Amino acid sequence: MMKCFTIFKDKSKSKKRRSAPQLSNHRKSDNLDLRRVSKSTDSYSSPRSIKEMYKEREQNLRDFSLFELREATNNFNRLLKIGEGGFGSVYKGTIMPPNGLGDSMVVAIKKLNTQGLQGHKQWVAEVQILGALDHPNLVKLLGYCALDGERGIQRLLVYEYMPNKSLEDHLFNRAMPTVPWRTRLHIILGAAQGMAYLHEDAEVQQVIYRDFKSSNVLLDKDFNPKLSDFGLAREGPTGGQTHVSTAVSSEMIKLS
């Protein structure tokens, strides 16, 4: 009985030793095939860079002359100034269609402070990013003006006009009417959708906003939120990179 038991036991071990390598090879082959499929899929769906997308869509932006924007703002009249910050000033203006026919359009015109190189870098970043991206919860860039003359450098941006100002105005300015909670939730959801588009859209490289704050959440006539001010935004990591170096430049949105 002992011999029979020993023989049975040895045969069992022998079978396991023979079958194990075959199973292992089969799994390696499967894993290799999966990796090949994964790499093929990744290369096929690899998002394009902001610069590549901008080159395709730059014709959608209007190249304004400085004369046109001076006319639109009554020579940058202080009474038409609707915002101001380290970047420069924003004016409410009225522009005509390129061919001069049709109705005029109310716009917001940002005149950048170009005392340093940083102002120009932020202007370029904003033109390229907003010129490449299109989403209901991102402010729409209509055009720009770039002029290097004897009187200095001029850098301006023209946006759709947001009549309900910013979320910051409604939260902290007591002169503004109180925003109902239903509207606040609508604003929060829209701002989150804008951020999700920047981070997850498969069409372009991930964009890191870097300036998410209540003053940069603008509101249209129906209180739909639009993320604005992309001068500090950067593209996310590409290729084998896992991160990019950025500095925190924002404040938390306060809802109470």
Q: Rounded to whole angstroms, how far apart are CA atoms 156 and 76?
A: 12
Active-site hit among 211, 220, 222, 229 = 211
Closest CA to 251 of 221, 236, 223, 229: 229
Closest CA to 143 of 233, 51, 69: 69
229 is catalytic: no
Spatial neighbors of 95 by CB under 8 A, at least 6 apart, are 64, 68, 69, 72, 104, 105, 107, 158
Buried b or exposed e, range 105-135, using 16+ CB within 10 angstroms: eebbbbbbebeeeebeebbebbbbbbbbbee
The reply, when asked if residue 11 is annotated as ligand binding, is: no
| Catalytic positions, written as ranges | 211
Residue positions in the annotated binding site for ATP?
111
